[in-house]
Amino acid sequence: MTDSLVVDSLKQLIEASNSIMIVPHLNPDGDAMGASLGLNHVLKQLGKKVSVVTPTAYPVFLSWMKGTDEAVNFEEDAPLALALLNKADLLIYVDFNCLKRAGELEKEILKLDVKKAMIDHHPYPDDIADVMVSVPSCSSTCELIYHLINKMGWNQYVETNAAECFYTGIMTDTGSLSYNSSNPETYRMVAGLLEKNIDKDKIHQLVFHSNSFSRMKLLGHVLGSKLILMPEQGAAYMWLDKNELQQHDFKPGDTEGFVNYPLSIEGINVSAFFMEQDDKIKCSFRSRGSFPVNKFSELHFSGGGHRNAAGGESTSSLKESVELFITQLPIFYNEFKNDDI
Ligand code: 5GP
Ligand code: MN
């Protein structure tokens, strides 16, 4: 899965460092947080000083993971995040491959003259680190990190807490092993994590069965009143404005997974979700089959991601962003059909 030379370089970089800072992407999901916290626990076992700084808040449904209370949210406590950043002699980027995904933290990172490593599974990486571990075929960054730890001979440093974090990322990035998970190696990893005494059913329960009443009502609202189909393109889209979010007591992570629901409608293979935030519109795209939502997002919403799961953003209004989708999707769809990108 990984080149031994790259693994050796990463190992040397870690061994030569004392103070390591781990940075996941903004709006971190289960994989980004699982990878950051799991790696944090393992590196601490190795005797390193480690901190996790998230560019923005993590979802509430991940707060049970060990280490979340020590993770610093740059948006919430910039002075502490910057103090930690300035002490670090190694930065490790996890689950992203272009610096834009570090949000407002990007310009702080660019000021630093320290070693950097990247561990990620998204396609088309930018050259952002001294050591780049990029494996797009891997189910999740969590699987990739667990694989790297094993290759570095550090499996004994993976305790139950770290294993729980790694399992969370594999589970959330594969829809509980329902997609991107046909490589037997993924199950060998899961077997290894089970041997670390994780309770996988409990993790599933904690992540997927801890909805607040208001999140459930928000889901009902968006599916009931804000879901539009584009049958000719086998597409669907939904949107939520700030008012609707406020009315449903929105908490970070509450809309996670909403974009997947329309894909369970017969004949729908592309789904889009637009959400109004303070400074921008956050867009999420999902597809089934060969339709490359990452290319579509890159082209029209300054985004990217995987072929079947991508995101982006827009600085236009919510209405304009949705209209852009409605006008551009058929054009892209027709070109895609002709070229089979
Ligand atoms: P989500 O819709 O869950 O936010 O993101 C889906 C996938 O697309 C994730 O793998 C995420 O890392 C990636 N992604 C989300 N937003 C962006 C973006 O603005 N730029 C890029 N390059 N990737 C994104
Ligand atoms: Mn991921």
Say yes or no: CB of residue 234 within 6 Å of ligand 1: no
- Ligand that comes closest to the CA of residue 33: 2
Q: How far is the CA of 213 from the centre of ligand 1 (A)?
A: 27
Say yes or no: CB of residue 98 within 6 Å of ligand 1: yes
**Are both 144 and 221 inside the same structural domain?**
no
Q: Tell me, what CATH number does 266's domain have?
A: 3.10.310.30
**Are both 109 and 27 inside the same structural domain?**
yes
Say yes or no: CB of residue 312 within 6 Å of ligand 1: yes
Q: Quick one: which of 305, 35, 32, 25 has its CA closest to 148? A: 35
Residue finishing a domain among 156, 185, 208:
208
**Are both 67 and 134 inside the same structural domain?**
yes
Residue finishing a domain among 187, 208, 229:
208
**Are both 238 and 146 inside the same structural domain?**
no
**Are both 159 and 221 inside the same structural domain?**
no
**Are both 96 and 239 inside the same structural domain?**
no
Alpha carbon distances (Å) from 101 to 21, 104, 279, 295, 311: 16, 9, 15, 17, 11
**Are both 174 and 32 inside the same structural domain?**
yes
The dihedral over CA atoms of 188, 193, 199, 200, expressed in degrees to the nearest 10, equals: -40
Q: Measure the CA–CA gap between 94 and 117, rounded to whole angstroms.
A: 9
State the total domains in the chain: 2
Say yes or no: CB of residue 59 within 6 Å of ligand 1: no
**Are both 72 and 221 inside the same structural domain?**
no
**Are both 203 and 272 inside the same structural domain?**
no
pLDDT of the chain, 341 residues: tens digit per residue? 889 999 999 999 999 999 999 999 999 999 999 999 999 999 999 999 999 999 999 999 999 999 999 999 999 999 999 999 999 999 999 999 999 999 999 999 999 999 999 999 999 999 999 999 999 999 999 999 999 999 999 999 999 999 999 999 999 999 999 999 999 999 999 999 999 999 999 999 999 998 999 999 999 999 999 999 999 999 999 999 999 999 999 999 999 999 999 999 999 999 999 999 999 999 999 999 999 999 999 999 999 999 999 999 999 999 999 999 999 999 999 998 776 54
Say yes or no: CB of residue 281 within 6 Å of ligand 1: no
**Are both 292 and 244 inside the same structural domain?**
yes
Q: Tell me, what CATH number does 153's domain have?
A: 3.90.1640.10
Q: Which two tokens stand for residue 147?
A: 């694989």
Residue finishing a domain among 160, 188, 208:
208
> Domain range holding 99?
4-208
Q: Quick one: which of 34, 57, 47 has its CA closest to 174? A: 34
pTM over 0.75, yes/no: yes
Helix (H, G, I), strand (E, B) or coil at 282: strand
Q: Measure the CA–CA gap between 70 and 156, rounded to whole angstroms.
A: 23
Q: How far is the CA of 142 from the centre of ligand 2 (A)?
A: 8
The residue contributing the CA closest to ligand 1 atom 20 is 303
**Are both 217 and 322 inside the same structural domain?**
yes
Q: How far is the CA of 61 from the centre of ligand 2 (A)?
A: 17
**Are both 159 and 305 inside the same structural domain?**
no
